[in-house]
Structure formats: structure tokens, C-alpha cells
Chains A and B, each alone.
Chain A
Amino acid sequence: MSDRQSSNAYWQANLRIIWVCLAVWALASYGFAIILRPLVSGIKIGGTDLGFWFAQQGSILVFIVLIFSYAARMNRLDRDHGVDE
């Protein structure tokens, strides 16, 4: 039973991390690059604005950072809950 509880706590923690990552994922792509682009158009980058940079470069860099930080946090979580390999 304790095993099941531990794995429940582990799963809830995993879901929380996923939600945070998905929020950042959506903000970088759908947010700054598309929907919020007019709001941040005052910030100029290299002949265009922040939204264009996010759409053609920034979002991809954010995605990479997101995956590696997810992997690192999950490794720590795996160890804390004793479910690592």
C-alpha cells in the first residue's frame, strides 16, 4: 500500500511539472509568437519585433531548454521517490 501511495505522490508531482512546462511551452509559441505579438511589438529586435524572434527562433530555443529541464527534474523526482532505474 505504501508503494501505491508513493507512486501516487510521484505521479501527482510529475503532473505538476508537466503543467508548468506546458504553460511555458504555450506562452513561448502561441503566446509571444502569435496571440500576444501585438502586445510586445514595442520590443525591437534586429529590424523586427520580439514576436517575430519568438516565432522563428526563440520558441525553438525555449522548447530545447524545457525538455532538458523536464528530464533533469524528473531524474531528481525519480530518485526522491525511489523509482529510478
Chain B
Amino acid sequence: MTQFTLNLIFIGLSFALYIGIAIWARAGSTAEFYAANRGVSPVMNGMATAADWMSAASFISMAGLIAFTGYDNSTYLMGWTGGYVLLAMLLAPYLRKFGKFTVPEFIGDRFYSKTARIIGVICLLIISITYVIGQMTGVGVTFSRYLEVSNSTGLWIGAAMVFCYSVLGGMKGITYTQVAQYIVLIIAYTIPAIFIALQLTGHVLPQTGLFGTLNGTDTKFLTKLDQVVTDLGFRSYTEHHGGTLNMVLFTLALMIGTAGLPHVIIRFFTVPKVSDARKSAGWALVFIALLYTVAPAVGSMSRFNLTATMWPGAQTGETFSQPAVSLDSIENDEDKQWMRNWQVTGLLNWEDKNGDGLIQYYNEGGESEALAAAVAEQNLQGNELTTVNRDIMVLANPEIANLPGWVIAIVAAGGLAAALSTAAGLLLAISGAVSHDLVKGAINPNISEKGELNAARISMAVSILVATILGLNPPGFAAQTVALAFGLAASSIFPVLMMGIFSKRINKQGAIAGMLAGILSTLLYIFTYKGWFFIAGTNMLDDTAANWLFGISPASFGVIGALINFGVAYVVSNATEEPPIEVQELVESIRVPRGAGGAVSH
């Protein structure tokens, strides 16, 4: 059976499963459409949250981010998990007690202001649309690589898939397909990782293999990896190279940004009780950790495998003890087939610059004595592995380790599951904001339940169409997900929700002024370095560490934006009148779990 047939079978089976679930979980009411009738068990919701949260970026890119940077990029591991502690303690239980359907709805009710609600909607739309474009392009890329269709055909197939279960089933359909997608993606991620950990360290668990001993030597794997990469002139893997302040702020920005992402928050509206919301955040993190603790092993081990492929001597840690891989081997050998496969996609490329028939991979600017000797001795004219895309670390992983064809097919299905599940969650947050906050909340408050359900379905369909078109022609801001989506979530939504729960004194004026100050300062800082509205060439300062204010990168600035938001809201609220008594009572009531009840119909 060819690889193509295997891919087709595995992807086809997973899609049939999602469609089956969609038909089974049709939504008949707005409570079902927005919040799955608040009947999802905490464990199931945890699993769905994990799939919702882990996007194409987590599945495909994160291991590569860690692989080529090492310790310094631990920020992603901590930042994208630590936010769940904040969610569990500071937001999720109280918002569940509040018992409505959308994040802007809470902002509007707590701050008794339509303006505040609309600002909330605008932030939600910017965050979610930025995020969803990345997912849609991820779907297109995965399809085109594994099913040999064009990028745009792949995108339309993916969009049709999301349409099926999200328009029919709303939150209910999405929840149960996300549970299935989680299972597919975690199997796809874990199987190759276990194989590779066994090959390199003899450990079944990648988590312990990372700290284990390299097979065939009596040295720890990480020690060997450090030695091999520094031999080749790269920075050591386990040491700290960047600035401490920026590392702290970037991690914090990712954490509070995670806690402020609307599509994650609304998942906690689906559980029956307040105590379930707390527990469910724990389960979500357990399921996320199953991938996030494997990712550093995948990253470091695939980096090692890649290096050992280029320098066979590195297999035992003696990098220059054998000559580099030969051009002949890359172009003809069976076990280098994956290099030829990936060269076609443009994600991997090489060039024999010094014409010695060998391909030498190293860091041109590197300072290592061993490297300097090799450069002189072998007459090196520059790094000859000219392109290594970081995404290849996960996608080509099974091929690099010579795993069977069905593992490759599972990875394809897993990548699609990761992208589709996140896209569906984001689209639900978008359509909920449009139909519930704009149509029912602002334009036509007297709309019937049935009318609102139809509006929700129509806005879902329109959102899918818009996301697909944007995915086909990604605008400049799509590449800035981390800076833009996390920056805005951290500087606007997280602070306003937290103040709404933990303070009775913050009033309408304070919340609006705080949100605006937070968003505008963050956008201003990002645009200063990335260009106005991300148009290349319009940036006022070069995006380099030397230019950053106090060394704070644009992607870390969400933390400062959040502080500005808190500060402005506090000052403005104290200068204006207290919130009305019924709002203070609302705050009292969301602080205690009793009386959360089941579905709220309205």
C-alpha cells in the first residue's frame, strides 16, 4: 500500500468520525449552541479544552521552536500551560457562576455598559480572527503535503468539515468532535516520540528519556546534545542565552494572554457546576501536559537525529570523528528518502558549496575550536544545509526515525485534528459574539430564541467563509499571532474580567478607560516595531533588542499593557461614582458557587 493510500485512509476515517459525531450532537436551542446545555462532564470538557487550545502551532511548530533554541524557548512551555492556573483560580469558576454565554456579555453586565460590551466584542474579534487565519493556513499546508491536493483545495475541504459539525451542532457538536480530535492528535504526537525515545535512550517515556543516557554511550543525552551542537558552533542547548527580564515578561504575557483568550474561557461555560469549572481546568492541563511534556523530548531528540544524520560521528557524540554525510548518500540512499521528500516542499535544502561531495552542516558565525579546525581542514565555504524549517522537526520526525508508513499517516491526521479543533473553537467564539452580543445585545434585543439560533448559525457560516478567504490570502497580521492575539488578550480581556470579579469598586468609566488604555498602548508598542497595521516598512524603529524600551519585546508588552489597564481603571474608578448597588450584588453572587444551576434560558 502506498503512503498516499495510507494517508487517505487515516484522514478519511478521522473525518468520518467527526461527521458521525456532528450528526449525533445536533443543537436544538441557543443553550445547546452556545454552551452545550451545560451538561459536559469536567473530564470531557478538559479534553475538549485541550484540543481547543492546542493549535497547529502547538502540534507542528512548538517542538521545532524548542529544538533550535533549547532552554530559552522554555517560555512557550511554561507560558502556554501556566495560564490554566490563573484560569482555574481567577476567572473560570466565577464566570461559570455568572451563567451567561459569552465573554463580552459578562463585561457588559458587570460594567452596566453597552460601550464596554462592544469594546469587548471588538477585542474578541481581533484576537480570534488573527488566530483562526493561522489555523486555516495550517489545514491547507497539511492537506497539500499529505493528500497531494493544492493548498486552496485543502483549505476548502477543511472549511467544509468545520462547517458540518459547527453549524449543525454549535458548542455541543464542537465539544464532542474536539474530544475525538484530542484523542487523534495525542496518539499522533506520542507514538513517534516513544519510538524515538526508545531508539536514542532506551526509555519508553519521552519525558524520562530526555534526562536519560544516550544509547551506546555512558553519557547523559542532554550532555551529548550540548557537546554536539556547540562543536558545530551553535549555542548550547541547555544554557540561558537571552535576557532574564524579557524571558520573565514574555512567559507572563503568554500566561495571562492564555487566561484571557475568549475561545478558551467559553469552554468553561459548558460544565454543570462551579466546582466542575475548577476541576475541569485541572483536567485540561493534564491533557495539555501529555503533549507539552513530550514536546521538549521531541524537539531535542529530533535536533540530535538531524545533526547525527548530517554528521554520522555525532551519533556517539564525537562530531568530527567521521566525515560529514555525502551528497551521494543524500541523493540515493533509502534512509535519506525523507530528505528528498522534504526538499520538494522547500522546507529543507542543501548545496555542496565547496564541491567536496560532502554536505557539512554548521553555524557559520559559531565560535568553537573544533569547528575552526574543521573549517580549515575541510576547506568549508559556508553552511551547506541551507534550509531547515523548524516545522519539519515534527512533520518529518517519523521519517527521520524510519518509522512505518501508518505512523506518518497518523501524524497527518493528528496535524489536521489540531488545526480543525482550534479553528472550530475560535469560530464559535466569533459567531457567539456576533449573534449574541451584536444581534441580540445591540441590534435586535427582542429576537426570539429560534431567531437567535438561526442568527448564530448564519454568523457561524459567514465566519467560516471569511476565515477561509483570509486563510487563502493571509494578511500581514496573521503571522503576528503571538504578539497581537496574546498581547490584546493579556492587556484587555484578562484585566477587565479579573477586576470585574475581584473588585466591587471598578465602575463603568474605569473599565472602559482601562481597556482602551491597555489595548491602545499595546497596539502602539507593537506597531512601532512591526509597522502600522503590520504593513512592512512603516515601522518607526527596527525590531531589535537594542531598540526595545527597557529590552521588552513587542510580544512581551501585553504584560505592561495589562498593568496600564489595571492602573487606569483604578484611578478613573476612584475619581468617579461607585457602581450601582445591583452590580455590587452581582459581584457578591458570582463569588459564591451556590445557585449556579443548569442551563440559563433567556
Q: Which residues of A contact B (CB under 8 A)?
A: 4, 7, 10-11, 14, 18, 21-22, 25, 29-30, 33-35, 37, 45-49, 52-53, 55-57, 59-61, 63-64, 66-68, 70-71, 74-75, 78, 82-85
Q: Is B251 in contact with A71, judged by CB distance below 8 angstroms?
A: no
Docked Cα-Cα span, A31 to B207, in Å, equals 22
Which residues from 431 to 464 on chain B have a C-beta closer than 8 Å to any C-beta of chain A? none
- Could you tell me the distance in whole angstroms from the C-beta of B149 to the nearest C-beta in chain A? 37
Docked Cα-Cα span, A68 to B46, in Å, equals 13
Q: Is B71 in contact with A71, judged by CB distance below 8 angstroms?
A: no
B85 beta carbon closer than 8 Å to chain A: yes
Q: Is A67 in contact with B282, judged by CB distance below 8 angstroms?
A: yes
B78 beta carbon closer than 8 Å to chain A: yes
Provide 23 A-B residue pairs closer than 8 Å at the C-beta atoms, listed in order of the A residue: A29-B82, A30-B251, A30-B252, A33-B78, A34-B240, A34-B248, A46-B220, A46-B222, A47-B223, A47-B224, A49-B238, A52-B71, A55-B71, A57-B207, A60-B77, A60-B289, A61-B293, A64-B282, A67-B85, A67-B282, A68-B282, A78-B275, A84-B275
Chain B interface residue count: which class?
35 or more
Q: Is B274 in contact with A57, judged by CB distance below 8 angstroms?
A: no
Label chain B's interface by main secondary structure: helix
Q: Is B248 in contact with A11, judged by CB distance below 8 angstroms?
A: no
Docked Cα-Cα span, A64 to B285, in Å, equals 6
- Could you tell me the distance in whole angstroms from the C-beta of A60 to the nearest C-beta in chain B? 5
Q: Which residues of B contact A (CB under 8 A)?
A: 66, 71, 74, 77-78, 81-82, 84-85, 88-90, 93, 207, 210-212, 219-224, 226, 238, 240, 244, 247-248, 251-252, 273-275, 278-279, 281-282, 285-286, 289, 292-293, 296, 588, 591-596
Q: Is B89 in contact with A18, judged by CB distance below 8 angstroms?
A: yes
Residue in chain A with minimal CB distance to B592:
A83
Q: Is A85 in contact with B273, judged by CB distance below 8 angstroms?
A: yes
Report which residue of A53, A67, A68 has the largest number of chain B beta carbons within 10 angstroms of its beta carbon: A67
For B296, what are the chain A residues with a Cβ–Cβ distance below 8 Å? 56-57
Residue in chain B with minimal CB distance to A74:
B278
Please pick, from A47, A53, A56, A57, the residue contacting B220 in the complex, using a CB distance under 8 A: A47
Known A22-B89, A67-B88; further 17 A-B contacts with Cβ < 8 A? A21-B85, A33-B74, A34-B244, A35-B244, A37-B240, A47-B222, A48-B223, A56-B210, A56-B296, A63-B289, A67-B285, A71-B88, A71-B282, A78-B275, A82-B594, A83-B594, A84-B594
Q: Is B238 in contact with A60, judged by CB distance below 8 angstroms?
A: no
For A78, what are the chain B residues with a Cβ–Cβ distance below 8 Å? 275, 593-594
Q: Which 7 A-B pairs have the closest CB atoms?
A: A46-B211, A47-B220, A47-B222, A55-B74, A67-B282, A47-B223, A71-B278
